[in-house]
Chain A
């Protein structure tokens, strides 16, 4: 079974205890990529690119690897997975990141 199908089946309730992987082990990674946790957030970070100094602190601190690093060390938010915790906003030394309601 593909990771996509496993996640789909679970999210849509198409499973029984017999069809789920044994012991909650995941034999078909990476299911985490299929689980778009961005839907959890109630606030989201917005980066003001004109203020960004490319220090990569937000990229370092993001607990969900949801700050994407570009080739030029500029950053952008991966809204598929960002849970909106706001750590990036807090660590940004030039206040280039703000949070907005979603």
Chain B
């Protein structure tokens, strides 16, 4: 582990730095809103000769992702980034990329979808891609957004995985905020991510056809391959985070967990809200309230067994969603958690809190109130309702 300095850096720039250190061969992106500074920095790295890569300015996000697919098939290490409407426009190729087993990394700076026009922090943009066969990782802070970028490339390019991976970070809260970061050295980055090898790469001498048709007699079998690859991403993940821990000193897991081990009540969430809840939980613990927090790092594949294990002994959970499944049972994380609890025979009260849509602030006193609500649910053996839209002026 080489000695490196702690720096102050904006979330977007931390991701761009990681992508530069990952020595990508190609970045393709559409530059207009809702694009972020991530690709702007990368274009500067390329222009300044700090990154030996092709930077392709596409005419739309749909094209940007398509270019990435093509370049990855040629054997390149590729990266793109988008959010909100841009991701929605990519939707078609998102599914093509996973089913064609394209190793690549995309940073999604989570922002709300139109309408009303907003583009502030929300997870509503990635949720339509939830079932696409991508691996979806979520960062709780800027350091994680940086570290997970390396982990994402490693996971994506493994021969037994070969899947696109998204790294999600909360818009503005992380993307445009300056936090402290301890980068890894360029040497460690190069050791962790050696030049890419891809056995399905296009090759004039050994022709191969990609993007073929599969009729009803074989389509399900190819989708079964995808299903198993996504599940393998979950089983090889510990190996990768262990290797990353050896060079960085930072150990990742399927989720962050704060005092959940002996907690009566746990609040679960995706993204940066983990930090807010953690601070509130520390204060409540000092007052004797046995509450804990779990923030998922890996959302897809869903770490069911690991979460169920972590929730043993917990008497109530509140699951927070910064997105909503309209007309369904609640937010996306909530329905996953409830399903996992049910099919593992754990019958504890679980409530969904939908919060922060369109970038509405979620503050420390609110985190405290939700932790107290969870603790009350554990005490009472139930909650007043299944789903609560937090802070809506009604």
A contact set with B: CB distance below 8 Å: 10, 13, 15-18, 20, 22-27, 29, 31
Please measure, in the bound complex, the distance between the C-alpha atom of A56 and the C-alpha atom of B2, giving whole angstroms. Answer: 70
How many residues of chain B get a CB closer than 8 Å to chain A's CBs? 23
Query: Judging by beta carbons under 8 Å apart, are A16 and B217 in contact?
Result: no
The minimal Cβ–Cβ distance linking B38 to chain A, given in whole angstroms, is 28
Query: Does chain A have a CB within 8 A of B212?
Result: yes
Residue numbers in B under 8 Å from A15 (CB-CB): 218, 221
Please measure, in the bound complex, the distance between the C-alpha atom of A20 and the C-alpha atom of B214, giving whole angstroms. Answer: 11
Please measure, in the bound complex, the distance between the C-alpha atom of A22 and the C-alpha atom of B228, giving whole angstroms. Answer: 12
Query: Judging by beta carbons under 8 Å apart, are A27 and B225 in contact?
Result: no
Residue numbers in B under 8 Å from A31 (CB-CB): 209
The minimal Cβ–Cβ distance linking B74 to chain A, given in whole angstroms, is 13
The 7 A-B pairs at the shortest CB distance, nearest first, are namely A17-B221, A26-B209, A23-B101, A17-B224, A24-B212, A24-B214, A24-B222
Residue numbers in A under 8 Å from B226 (CB-CB): 23
Please measure, in the bound complex, the distance between the C-alpha atom of A16 and the C-alpha atom of B222, giving whole angstroms. Answer: 10
Please measure, in the bound complex, the distance between the C-alpha atom of A22 and the C-alpha atom of B73, giving whole angstroms. Answer: 13
Please measure, in the bound complex, the distance between the C-alpha atom of A18 and the C-alpha atom of B208, giving whole angstroms. Answer: 19
Residues B325-363 near A (CB distance < 8 A): none
Please measure, in the bound complex, the distance between the C-alpha atom of A22 and the C-alpha atom of B214, giving whole angstroms. Answer: 12
Query: Does chain A have a CB within 8 A of B100?
Result: yes
Residue numbers in A under 8 Å from B200 (CB-CB): 22-23, 25, 27
Please measure, in the bound complex, the distance between the C-alpha atom of A26 and the C-alpha atom of B100, giving whole angstroms. Answer: 11
Query: Does chain A have a CB within 8 A of B99?
Result: yes
Query: Does chain A have a CB within 8 A of B207?
Result: yes
28 interchain pairs (CB within 8 A)? A10-B217, A15-B218, A15-B221, A16-B221, A17-B222, A17-B224, A17-B228, A20-B222, A22-B101, A22-B225, A23-B100, A23-B200, A23-B210, A23-B222, A23-B225, A24-B99, A24-B100, A24-B213, A24-B214, A24-B218, A25-B200, A25-B208, A25-B209, A26-B212, A27-B200, A27-B206, A29-B209, A31-B209
Residue numbers in A under 8 Å from B212 (CB-CB): 24-26
